[in-house]
Amino acid sequence: MVVLPVAPVAAASYVQPLPTGELQALNEYPNWVTGSACGVSGAASAPSGNASGATTIVLDPGHAPKANEAVDPATKLPVFDYENDPEMAQVWQVAQDVKNTLQNDGYTVLLTKSSLDDSSTNLKKRAEVANNANAALGVSLHTTPGNPSHDNNVFYPGVGNYVVTTTGTHDVYTNSGLANTDQKDASAMASALQNVEGQPWHAGTYANIYGPISRTDPITGTVMKGNMLTTQYFAKVPWVYAEQTQDAPGASVSPGLLSKYADGVAKGIENIVPIPGPGSAPGVSGSTCSCSTGSVSAGSGAPDGAAFPNLDPAAMASAINTWIKQENPQSKLSGLGSTIVASAKNSNVNPFLIVSIAKEESSLSDPGDYNVIHAHNSFGRTAGPGQPSFQGAKSWYKWSSVEASVDYTAPENKNIPGGGDMATYLRDQYGSSISGNNLVALMEAYSPPGQNNTAQYIANIKSWTQQLIKLTTGGSGPAVSNPSSPGGCGSVNCTSGGVSAGSVTGNAAILCEAEKYAGIYYLWGGGHESYSTFRQNCPLSALSSAAGSSTVSNPGPCGTDCSGLVSVAVDAAFNQSFTWSVSNSTGFMVGSGSNYWKSIPISQAQAGDIVTTNAGNGSPGDGHVEIVMYVKGNTVYTFGSHSPGVKTGPTNAPSSYWSQGAWHWTGPGGSP
């Protein structure tokens, strides 16, 4: 086997010695939120030139739900695809995550499948999506069983590689220019994935790494042979093929690694195809970050009404994404905040209403919801005459994907009597209530008494709308089970993702100080030098741009690890100079002044308290700490520096994950 090595990861300029017990393992709780380089999730302003394909990316999530068109008539090459679960569903989700990241950074993104269940494609048609768009890059996404030491691979075609027709002819690949480009791009992609995941990735041709291919179509019996990947044979634009090793039972990839896979692919694409000039992608030299949602502007409605509100659209999109992650990390609406806001503005509907209905009807498009599974319907919407439908307990409206249900630009939503996407449907069916900005009247019609507990439905919608307003405007945060919690800490700063503590006092100030580091990549050992030294390297004035310049390989002088962030936040909040780490044998905070941390029940934790864990029960390197935002039921919502390759930001985990419980600061400046 010949495998081209990936260049060693460059050491970050600011790496400090690893404190005892700091989190080293990569198998942390899987729901870490990677965040956005902007404090909101609106798309960066795209440069001119997209029409030429200069910043058009094609994502190719592997496999199709059934074998289809076995042989291409023009070339007589086998082009069949086949279902392969759970890989097919997992790489579809990776594609959605990468798409959202890239679109937020200003790229045009196309997919080779219209939905997870799209069976109309084949291996040639996948390549043609990129060829027809003159895309800057195509990226196939797959997973595979194997050992990460040699099976995390990014493939490129090599001159002399071949595919075999059904008549036995060897069609040899001869495009040396494209092969050379693909080799460079594959190495860059492998390097980015290696940096993010912290495990080996390799770049090579399929022929050199695995050798000949022989695959049989289970329906027609057609045999596919050769020693290169068929999609790359048909591609006329640069194309790389990534294959992530599976690390979980049932031939699957764990959620934590799947998130890193998506983050690494996005970073690799941004490195291979940087957006030039102003508005370039985060992490590219000279980049800036423009936080907007394209042409969407604020409306005139009340924030808690039915019409599109007079709030910043990008902040609303960010709030929606954050709220969805908090309420249901597995939601199929994850990352669609900008799409929801744009569609809501198109129909003059409050986007908070759309996601609140989804919360009531399907637990925010939970993957296990019956209507979500069978109709991609998160809203309890029934189908009218002539509308696409799925027959269950009622005739439910059916979309091809959850994303299409909230995207007014989706072709399937055009010319639908009564409205295609959910925002258009609400406008067309309940227009008088929307024009009168009457949320109660709209919901009484949408959820009529006699069929529903309408009063409770409306109360829920109002409550969730208030949570979203607070997240948008930087108010006191969502309503929580512990009402005395101070909640959040001020308004999001678009440039840095930072938060101003303002007049917040008590332990909530710890959270506010920590949130100033949102979007900065984890730095192993960062924050464990003295506070004065840290502040010399990372002056407060630098925080406004720190997230924009932070990268996986060089987080910058403001990067921290998990306990380093706690140390810096407490020191900044109360003018102290403490430094802590997390013991690898106990999961407790250790270091001078650690006696000021008072153990409290997790159910009583409030903003600015901390939670710690010893996830591996004494194994080296598995202590971890995060700062509490709030507690809701059995879920702890936290803010922290999570793990290598992941941006500092919010996340959540079950209370049971935090094995060493919650801790309250009683030292200088804190409350007893």
C-alpha 107/C-alpha 627 separation (Å) is 34
Task: Please report the pLDDT score of residue 333 as a whole number.
Answer: 93
Q: What is the mean pLDDT of residues 120-136?
A: 92
Residue 470's pLDDT band (boundaries 50, 70, 90)? confident
Residue with tokens 């790489």: 91
Task: Please report the pLDDT score of residue 15 as a whole number.
Answer: 27
Task: Please report the pLDDT score of residue 67 as a whole number.
Answer: 57
pTM: 0.41
What interhelical angle do 454-473 and 313-327 show, nearest 10? 120
| pLDDT tens per residue, range 69-95 | 789 999 999 999 888 888 999 999 899
Residue 30's pLDDT band (boundaries 50, 70, 90)? very low
Single out the residue of 197, 283, 269, 198 nearest to residue 240, CA to CA: 269
Mean pLDDT is lowest, of 171-175, 216-220, 595-599, for 216-220
Backbone angles phi, psi at 207, to 5 degrees: -60, -40
Backbone angles phi, psi at 530, to 5 degrees: -60, 155
Mark out the alpha helices in 273-312 (DSSP H runs). none
Q: What is the four-CA torsion angle of 459, 465, 466, 469, rounded to 10 degrees?
A: -170
C-alpha 152/C-alpha 158 separation (Å) is 19
CA angle 69, 74, 78 (to 5 degrees): 40
| pLDDT tens per residue, range 187-199 | 989 988 988 888 9
| pLDDT tens per residue, range 339-354 | 899 899 988 899 999 9
Cα separation of the two ends of the chain: 63
Q: How far from 208 is each of 6, 179, 234, 266, CA to CA, in Å?
A: 15, 14, 20, 26
Task: Please report the pLDDT score of residue 671 as a whole number.
Answer: 67
How high is the mean pLDDT of the chain? Answer: 78
Single out the residue of 294, 318, 269, 265 nearest to residue 46, CA to CA: 294
Looking at the chain, the whole-number percentage of residues with pLDDT higher than 90 is 30
Task: Please report the pLDDT score of residue 286 as a whole number.
Answer: 27
Mean pLDDT is lowest, of 183-197, 485-499, 651-665, for 485-499
Q: Which of 166-170, 605-609, 658-662 has the highest mean pLDDT?
A: 166-170
Mean pLDDT is lowest, of 10-14, 121-125, 456-460, 663-667, for 10-14
Task: Please report the pLDDT score of residue 481 as a whole number.
Answer: 27
Task: Please report the pLDDT score of residue 156 as a whole number.
Answer: 96
Task: Please report the pLDDT score of residue 39 as a whole number.
Answer: 26
The larger pLDDT score, comparing residue 143 to residue 630, is at 143
Mark out the alpha helices in 436-523 (DSSP H runs). 439-446, 454-473, 508-514
| pLDDT tens per residue, range 349-384 | 999 999 999 999 999 999 888 989 888 999 999 888
Do 213 and 223 touch, CB atoms closer than 8 A? Answer: no
| pLDDT tens per residue, range 552-590 | 888 999 999 988 999 999 998 888 888 888 776 677 788
Cβ contacts of residue 538 below 8 Å, gap of 6+? 546, 556, 557, 558
The larger pLDDT score, comparing residue 333 to residue 590, is at 333
| pLDDT tens per residue, range 31-61 | 222 222 222 222 222 222 333 445 789 999 9
Mean pLDDT is lowest, of 98-112, 133-147, 436-450, for 436-450
C-alpha 75/C-alpha 224 separation (Å) is 13
| pLDDT tens per residue, range 298-325 | 777 788 888 888 888 888 888 899 899 8
Mean pLDDT is lowest, of 290-304, 329-343, 410-424, for 290-304
> CA quadruple 591, 593, 599, 604: dihedral positive or negative?
negative
Kindly state the DSSP code that residue 67 receives in the 8-state scheme: -
Q: Which of 235-239, 611-615, 650-654 has the highest mean pLDDT?
A: 235-239
| pLDDT tens per residue, range 271-297 | 888 864 333 332 222 222 222 344 466
Do 199 and 278 touch, CB atoms closer than 8 A? Answer: no
| pLDDT tens per residue, range 534-547 | 999 999 888 878 88
- As given in the structure block, the two tokens for residue 2 are 């010949």
Task: Please report the pLDDT score of residue 618 as a whole number.
Answer: 42
The larger pLDDT score, comparing residue 258 to residue 386, is at 258
